[in-house]
Amino acid sequence: MVAFKSVSTPEMSTLSQIRLTALSRLAPEVADFLEGGAGDEGTLTANRAAFSRWGFRQRVMSGLDVPDLSTSLLGTDLAMPVLTSPFGADGLFHPDGQKAVARAALAAGIALVVPEAGTHSLEDVVQAAPKAARIAQLHPMGPEQNFLRMLRRIEDAGCQAICLTVDCPTGGWRERVLRNAFDLDARFVGGNYPDDGQTRLIEVFGQLFERSAVVWSWERLASLMAHTHLPWIAKGIMTADDALAAEAAGAAAVYVSNHGGRQLDGVPAALDALVEVARAVDGRLPVLFDSGVRRGADVVKALALGADVVVIGRLAAYGLTAGGQAGVERVLSLLHDEIRTVLTLLGHGGVRDLGPGALVRLDGTDTPM
């Protein structure tokens, strides 16, 4: 029997209400920065629509106990198959930013992905929650010596893995940002580089903001990642070919994502790409997934379609804005309880035994699995 936790305020009662609460507290241009996507925002819309094409094949009288949500990723135990994403500029949403997210992740028994372009340094986030499980994000761009220097910092910080965001050689064409003339202050993304004249920010994120890029290759990336003992995840994979290329380059996991529709408008919904990528790696590598997730039922659908872990970005940012650490904890608690409820009603004993048999297409097409 699911025992829902008491709700202290109406503003934090549901995930959709937390979103509304968060957006009401942000300046319009910051809300647009958080909510917006690239181009005409077709991919942003498609990410959500993809979930509605799948329904559940409910089985009753299963005789099962309370579902087990626990799992693991690259040797790290998780209380549920959820991570928080490396959303940067986190100080826009709450002064504590990722420090609050780290404390909430620790309380929930999950891991967070610490952004390179964060308001607070990796070391400060670690100090805020030393026992939290953490993965550090890094952008494969810019001068190699600076990339390698950050690899050393990630190792010294005791991170369990590295998440390489491979789909950002330049920033997406985000018209809400252009329309608002929104100039993101470097202090909100420069926490990792406060003492070097923001050299890395200019060399790396200057490429994003100025839209000029030198795109790395898988071969170059593989040669540099040979300098660390930590496993690494390739984030931004949307095709079978790139999944296999990441595997060949040494990736320990692949991460299906279209950056929440914020990078290249017109690419398929991430949920549709998940099926292709999961089939390509065929269980050899763990598969992470994000883009379009707004509730626990979405998490269950992504797991059934091949994801091992689902990563939340905007949901975590909404919680952070609405209530700091407590807001993120509330988001994670609501996700946990909804996932458990859905699994109970599906007749499934846990997240590890989910497969495409738990779903049915609602649009009349054949299941692609």
| Residues with active-site annotation | 259
Fill in the amino acid letter for 180. N
**Token pair for residue 362?**
């609602």
Give the whole-angstrom CA distance, residue 299 versus residue 283: 19
- C-beta of residue 231 within 8 angstroms of C-beta of residue 161: yes
Give the whole-angstrom CA distance, residue 107 versus residue 324: 13
Question: Which 3-state string (H, E, C) describes 109-170?
Answer: CCEEEECCCCCCCHHHHHHHCCCCEEEEEECCCCCHHHHHHHHHHHHHCCCCEEEEECCCCC
User: Residue 98: CA atoms inside 13 Å, Cβ hemisphere, count?
Assistant: 36
Secondary element (H or E) of residue 78: strand 76-78
**Token pair for residue 322?**
């609405």
